[in-house]
Amino acid sequence: MVPARLGTPLDARLYRLSSALPDDRARVAGSAAATDPTRRSVGIMRVYATKETCAVASLCVYQAPEVFDQDEEGQVEVLDPEPPAELHEDVRIAVRGCPTRSIRVE
């Protein structure tokens, strides 16, 4: 169920996307989530984006506005290529939500 405070269809889709990614999956040894490099939370995260493949969906900007923005043409820009640990999960959700896989993390 989508909370009433979410006003636009995009807000509702983002809510469903973020709530459909339970963190307990990563704790199961041997699961795909446990071996997924976007699930790492230890150490420094480095964020990369490819403007040429960006579909201007803006999901990354809504999920992690401290890390992502858009240029005049609407394409992704990385504001903080090494975000602090408290933003890592938001960045991972943005990476998984990117329809063209234009964002990656290491």
Asked, for residue 4, whether it belongs to a domain, the answer is: no
Task: Please report, for the domain that includes residue 42, its CATH number.
Answer: 3.30.70.20
Q: What is the pLDDT of residues 61-81, one digit of tens each?
A: 999 999 999 999 999 999 999
Asked, for residue 92, whether it belongs to a domain, the answer is: yes
DSSP 24: G
- Tallying the residues shown for the chain, one arrives at 106
Asked, for residue 3, whether it belongs to a domain, the answer is: no
Q: What is the pLDDT of residues 96-105, one digit of tens each?
A: 999 999 999 9
Which domain covers residue 40, as residue numbers?
Answer: 9-105
pLDDT averaged over the chain?
77
Asked, for residue 82, whether it belongs to a domain, the answer is: yes
Q: Is pLDDT above 70 for 19? A: no
Nearest Cα to Cα of residue 33 among 25, 41, 44, 22: 25
Q: What is the pLDDT of residues 20-62, one digit of tens each?
A: 444 443 333 344 444 555 554 458 999 999 999 999 999 999 9
Asked, for residue 72, whether it belongs to a domain, the answer is: yes
* Structural domain total, the chain: 1
